[in-house]
Amino acid sequence: QETYRHYQTIMVEKYLYLLEVAENAFLDETENQVEAVYAQLQEMEAALTELLVTIKTKSLSEIEAQAKKTFSLTIKTIRGETVFNEARKALLESFQKGNLDSFLYAKDLEIVNPRQVSHITLMIELTKAYGLAFESLKQEAGAIDFNDIEHLAYQILQYDEARDTLKKRYEEILVDEFQDSNFFQEAIVNLISRGNNVFRVGDVKQSIYGFRHAKPDIMRGHLINPMNEVFYLSNNFRSKENIVEFNNMVFSQAMNIDEFKDTYGEKDAVSVGIASQREDQLPVFIHLPENDQTITYASDDSEETVKSTRLIAMSIAKDIQRQANRGKSYRDICVLIRSHSRKAFLKDAFDELDIPYYFDAQEGFTHAYSVQDILNAIRLCLDPTNEFYLAYFLLSQLGGYDEVQVASLRLHSSDSLLTNLKSTDPDLHHKLQLLINQFNTASMSQALTHLYAFNDYYHAALPLEQKSNLDLLFERVTSYESTKHEGWPGFISQMEFIEDGDKSASAVAIDENEDVVKVLTIHQSKGLQFPIVYYFSSSNLRIKSLDDNLLIDGDMGIAFKYFHGQGQRKHLLRRIIEQKIELDEIEESLRLLYVALTRAQNELHIVDVMPQKEQTEPISSYSLLAKEGHTPTILRSLDKNKPELYTFLSEQIEIIPDRKSAPTPVPAFKIPESPLEIPRVTPQIVSELDLSDALSSTEKGTYLHQLLEAWPAHHFSDEFIEGQNLSNTTLKQLRSYRENPLTQKLHNQSFGYEVGYATIDEVGVMDFVSENDQEITLV
């Protein structure tokens, strides 16, 4: 209930702030000051003040009674008084947005709805069962995962002998980045320490790993513990003095809101440590570009519109171009972003102005567009008449076609895309056939070398980072080739398995001397510094969805939504978890801003579009709960008496359209499996199929799969199989298969090829399934 009361206090203070705005509008802007309306304003103020006291000191039933009384009040409009009426409307609408039913909990013990206890119990049992099954699989494989390192260490330290041995061994224990510790890590340190031999280093203001269960409250607890000795580092040796003082100004405002945990007091404020930090200073640049098109934002819980994001990206790119023209090195510049989604916009802007750049990819190297180009080209060589892979190949820089050219190719005739390519572009068709032959005859590494050289793809079409990804792919192929392998089909299957869960880092191809602009997320920049920093700011804050049917919190537990008839009402625990998540994310967002603005050494640039509303009021719990984002927070923190610390820049920027000519990273794509009885066109076998021992079992299997899947369309007619470039022996075998009574039976009832399945232990694909009312046949 502490969290619940804390949040409701903030909500009522928000209402009081909006009421004050309405009262000021009435007193200062209204000519027709109706006494009855002023009395309503006074009555509302008294009721909200009483509700605030009730929330802090009385029971839930008393909160409910006072809330009902308060929110039954109203304020009338005054004809012709637009300013006042707008302020009144904002107040009354905020009541609705504030979820009035969140105040209406008459029973102090209505924490969890009784109907949901069984559901929660079942969820806990399922989670435990899953954990046991996962543990069993890891034990069978003789493996542990990353989380096991902490958990198993903790279990070991429950034994007195292990714990006492380590206590005696370590004279001093030093913990770095302490602000990001979780409860397991803190418990382990306490188990091996003697109580007074731990030295912890951290900064609560830089705790930005909530998604990894970091708990800044652990460090906050140590800071106020009288048994601990606390040292504050008061000097900054990184940034020019103007940047240091700018951040002191911003965060002394943004982090000192009574209802939030983070503070920025005298001991948090820093000063420069060396004389050179006072030399050659520049103000912090706040760029708010303009455009002749109207820039709007989406709802307050979503990203900026695509238009505004493009505008910000182009503004950053143009200013970097000016820096380069003045002799600045690209390597000195870093662009910081909150989320990976903005990288595509920056890439387009940088490509437009020919700015060299390096992006650290969010996903693993298998998702890099160069790797996807090559993997899909390999799939094409294994399956040459698959029109999806052929179109992908043509649209990539391997083929060099654009969408219009591929569409024209498709419309050229009713023949296949490959046949049309042969008649319209015989040179490319011939080169492709030679490449396909390489994949049928050459070693894997030789075939891949030929593919990399196709149309000079590797050397001419790719930036450095993408080349590094292909170098890593080549290493994977040569490593696979050195084992007892199943050829390209086996390698592709292996890569598809990796793609599904690949979160490994892309190959890193740069060092500090590479002359490129670096683009990093704020998390990636932690602990780093750069001469010139551009922060890609935002005027709204995105909070993760609170609409999920199930919410989980490490402190509070788990909660479902409660459905009742046609509507739904959240029980108290659900409400508390939602409020806690929202407050935690707002606080962490401020800490992310702190990390972003403290990376710069010489120049700091903050870039966004002009917010729709003027940000003149100081930061408050209301403005933070409104999820205004970082730009309004900065603007509300500016001290007009310190104009030397910052300057505003604005210019007309043309928003660039979508770029169609540049290669676009394409996500991994798999053609969906067809349902039962949906015909699939089988690719033509390019090289002659001979089922002798000259081919590996995998190659034989691949060819036969391709042929068998043609049954729905052709029923293995003589015309079809004779047109497949097969040996006489194979033709005889396939006719025998076609005439077999079992074959006929299985294809005269419901059947399907490549049918997916899932069990509690595994997922996979069944080659062939046929069924009737009495039996199911699996092949």
Fold of the domain spanning 365-500: PCRA; domain 4 (1.10.486)
DSSP 8-state symbol, 748: T
CA neighbours closer than 13 Å in the CB half-sphere of residue 744: 5
The predicted structure's pLDDT at residue 578: 86
With 0-12 / 13-18 / 19 or more C-beta atoms within 10 angstroms meaning exposed / middle / buried, residue 718 is: exposed
102, two tokens: 């969140």
Instruction: Give the mean model confidence (pLDDT) for residues 286-315.
Output: 67
SS3 per residue for 22-39: HHHHHHHHCCCCCHHHHH
Instruction: Give the mean model confidence (pLDDT) for residues 190-194.
Output: 95
Task: Answer whether residue 556 shows pLDDT above 90.
Answer: no
Contact 330, 517 (CB under 8 A): yes
157, two tokens: 């330290």
CA separation for the pair 521, 536 (Å, rounded): 10
Report helix, strand or coil for 97.
Answer: helix
Give one DSSP letter per residue of 102-113, joined into a string.
GG----TTTTS-
The predicted structure's pLDDT at residue 731: 78
Report the range of poorest mean pLDDT among 212-216, 353-357, 530-534, 722-726.
722-726
- How many other CB atoms are found less than 10 A from the CB of residue 135? 12
Contact 246, 635 (CB under 8 A): no
Instruction: Please indicate whether residue 688 or residue 13 has the higher confidence score (pLDDT).
Output: 13
Report the range of poorest mean pLDDT among 77-81, 189-193, 295-299.
295-299
Instruction: Please indicate whether residue 619 or residue 512 has the higher confidence score (pLDDT).
Output: 619
Fold of the domain spanning 278-360+511-649: Rossmann fold (3.40.50)
Which residues are paired to 190 by β-bridges?
A: none
Which CA distances in Å does 32 have to 25, 284, 313, 717?
Answer: 12, 45, 48, 91
Helix axis angle for 403-411 and 417-424, nearest 10°, is 100
Backbone angles phi, psi at 590, to 5 degrees: -65, -35
CA separation for the pair 743, 749 (Å, rounded): 11
Report helix, strand or coil for 597.
Answer: helix
pLDDT category at 426 given cuts 50, 70, 90 is: very high
Which residues are paired to 175 by β-bridges?
A: 200
Task: Answer whether residue 680 shows pLDDT above 50.
Answer: no
Contact 599, 523 (CB under 8 A): no
The predicted structure's pLDDT at residue 322: 95
Give tens-digit pLDDT for 486-528.
789 888 887 876 665 544 444 444 555 789 999 999 999 998 9
DSSP 8-state symbol, 332: G
Report the range of poorest mean pLDDT among 171-185, 467-481, 658-672.
658-672
- How many other CB atoms are found less than 10 A from the CB of residue 714? 17
Report the range of poorest mean pLDDT among 283-287, 291-295, 546-550, 769-773.
291-295
Q: Which residue has the tokens 């188990």?
A: 191
CA separation for the pair 105, 5 (Å, rounded): 12
The predicted structure's pLDDT at residue 725: 66
The predicted structure's pLDDT at residue 10: 84
Task: Answer whether residue 333 shows pLDDT above 90.
Answer: yes
The predicted structure's pLDDT at residue 305: 64
Nearest residue to 253 (alpha-carbon basis) of 632, 525, 609: 632
The predicted structure's pLDDT at residue 442: 87
Instruction: Give the mean model confidence (pLDDT) for residues 230-249.
Output: 96
Backbone angles phi, psi at 214, to 5 degrees: -65, 140
Give tens-digit pLDDT for 104-144.
665 544 566 677 788 889 999 999 999 999 999 999 989 99
The predicted structure's pLDDT at residue 631: 94
Give tens-digit pLDDT for 581-605.
888 999 999 999 999 999 999 999 9
CA separation for the pair 82, 95 (Å, rounded): 20
Give tens-digit pLDDT for 48-63.
999 999 999 998 888 8
Nearest residue to 422 (alpha-carbon basis) of 396, 447, 390: 390
CA separation for the pair 179, 205 (Å, rounded): 8
Instruction: Give the mean model confidence (pLDDT) for residues 39-55.
Output: 94
For residue 754, is it left (φ>0), alpha (ψ between -120 and 50) or beta? Answer: left
Percentage of the chain with pLDDT > 70?
Answer: 82
The predicted structure's pLDDT at residue 430: 92
CA separation for the pair 623, 260 (Å, rounded): 12
50, two tokens: 């009483």
Angle at 686 between CA 680 and CA 692, to 5 degrees: 100
Instruction: Give the mean model confidence (pLDDT) for residues 396-415.
Output: 91
Instruction: Give the mean model confidence (pLDDT) for residues 283-301.
Output: 65
Give tens-digit pLDDT for 681-739.
333 444 444 554 455 555 566 666 667 766 666 667 777 777 776 777 777 888 888 88
Contact 342, 536 (CB under 8 A): yes
- How many other CB atoms are found less than 10 A from the CB of residue 302? 11
Beta strands in 163-232 (DSSP E): 173-175, 198-200
Q: Which residue has the tokens 């030789």?
A: 446
| Average pLDDT value for the chain | 83
Q: Where are the domains of the chain?
A: 2-103, 278-360+511-649, 365-500, 697-778
pLDDT category at 344 given cuts 50, 70, 90 is: confident
Nearest residue to 318 (alpha-carbon basis) of 652, 663, 662: 652
Give one DSSP letter per residue of 126-184, joined into a string.
HHHHHHHHHHHHHHHHT---HHHHHHHHHHHTTSHHHHHHHHHH-S-EEESSGGG--HH
DSSP 8-state symbol, 215: -
